[in-house]
Amino acid sequence: MSTTTTFITEDFLLGTKTASELYHTYAEQMPIIDYHCHLSPKEVAENKRFDNITQGWLAGDHYKWRAMRTCGVDERLITGDATDYEKFKAWAATVPKVLRNPLYHWTHLELNRPFGIADRVLNSETADGIWETTRELLAKPEFTTQGILKQMCVEIVCTTDDPVDSLEYHDQYRQSGGNGCTRMIPAFRPDKAMAVEDVNAFLSWVQQLAQAADTEINSYAAFLEAIARRHQYFHNHGCRLSDHGLETAYAESYTDSEIAVIFTKLLAGQALTPGEILKFKSAMLYELGVMDHERGWVQQFHLGALRNNNSRMMRKIGPDTGFDTIGDFEIARPLAKLMDRLDTDDRLAKTILYNLNPRDNELMAAMIGNFQDGSVAGKIQYGAAWWFLDQKDGMTKQLEALSNMGVLSQFVGMLTDSRSFLSYPRHEYFRRILCNILGSEMEEGLLPNDIELVGGMVKEISYFNAKRYFQF
């Protein structure tokens, strides 16, 4: 089996001379604003050092876990009690089998940066050498969590935090001065405030909310007040954006008195009807949207995931372990209704919409135009290709849909959406794809042969648009 590789070259994914010039001159050195990820604030604040690459690269990475299962790897070597070395060897043996899956590109981009491994592909024969090389590097100060963020020129990292979180690690990191390069900012993720299907789990969370907000929650009004207190608490800690993981938008008609009755029913431990669940979710999405608007936040809607489909594995190893899929929910009608409900009262915050089903690309790209109002450039954004679409084809199609139905120059660009500190080459991947599209069209005569004009747009999309939009 070959032990060398030349496919991750300086001009990887850059098919023309102009594309290469755009990337290396205008995109490559731009700092990163990672406005949505799932990194651990604790691991950032404590400047965690990983003993080996498995701990920093395979742990929690459900993308790799899915591929390993598909290739016949036993669960013991994925999420089980095998050693870190055994798990790495199992992944190394899997890598040659994932040609044309984005994991093949990601794997070798991530070995290249920050580890500098560009002369070998990962496989069973090269695994031991790469294991030792990365172990030696991970022992150095520049390969702690903070060191990696600094190496990758991450200016802002936004974690994903429950409203009941104390944000103690954000405080700890800020008070320590951080790494001198990266600011860590919380993002408000109130999904559990809407998760009323499981009444016992919801009530347990309400108790945590009451404690965090230092108040008694005995009514819907008190519940909203407690959430508002936590919203303000997050704002005081620098938070300027929220995030919602939703199957679809919720915009049922309801009255305040109906929601008050529904909440009383929840407090009594009674299960809700499907109609009551939809009304409660609709009310909460509206109220949370109003809070975001009042404080000048950005709200993000991640729409279309059908989660935890394998009940046996859910019972065995829990959620977020690689058993989610693309859903086929109705998106357009409820999303338009929700946004119009907020816009009617001039309470529609800056909003980023993400779809998981590729059939909805043009739907989203068209939807954002309905609620632009000239108050903010790109007020409503069609977000970067997400999850299953976070690959060359998915990114290209998202950029094409946005270009055709929106204004590409106003796009706030890429994010990692990752639990791994080694995922930052995803920004490089996106920037290379963007530059390849633009450079190719310049050479085809479809765009002006004006490198400063197009290069300026590349810099805006890579960095400056996000910096202005979020106003951190």
3-state secondary structure 335-366: HHHHHHHHHHCCCCCEEEEEECCHHHHHHHHH
Strand pairing of 305-306 and 183-185? unpaired
Question: How much is the pLDDT for 5?
Answer: 65
What was the pLDDT predicted at 472?
86
Per-residue pLDDT of the chain (472 residues; tens, 9 = 90+): 555 667 999 999 999 999 999 999 999 999 999 999 999 999 999 999 999 999 999 999 999 999 999 999 999 999 999 999 999 999 999 999 999 999 999 999 999 999 999 999 999 999 999 999 999 999 999 999 999 999 999 999 999 999 999 999 999 999 999 999 999 999 999 999 999 999 999 999 999 999 999 999 999 999 999 999 999 999 999 999 999 999 999 999 999 999 999 999 999 999 999 999 999 999 999 999 999 999 999 999 999 999 999 999 999 999 999 999 999 999 999 999 999 999 999 999 999 999 999 999 999 999 999 999 999 999 999 999 999 999 999 999 999 999 999 999 999 999 999 999 999 999 999 999 999 999 999 999 999 999 999 999 999 999 999 999 999 8
Edge-to-edge, what's the strand order for the sheet holding 183-185? Answer: 32-34, 154-158, 183-185
Q: Is the peptide bond before 319 cis (omega within 30 degrees of 0)?
A: no
pLDDT value of position 3: 57
Closest by CA position to 360, among listed 383, 377, 337, 376? 383
Amino acid occupying residue 313: M
CA 431 to chain centre: 17
Give the Cα separation of 471 and 240 in Å (integer): 8
Phi/psi class of residue 349: alpha, beta or left (left: φ > 0; alpha: ψ in -120 to 50)? beta
What local confidence, expressed as pLDDT, does residue 2 receive?
53
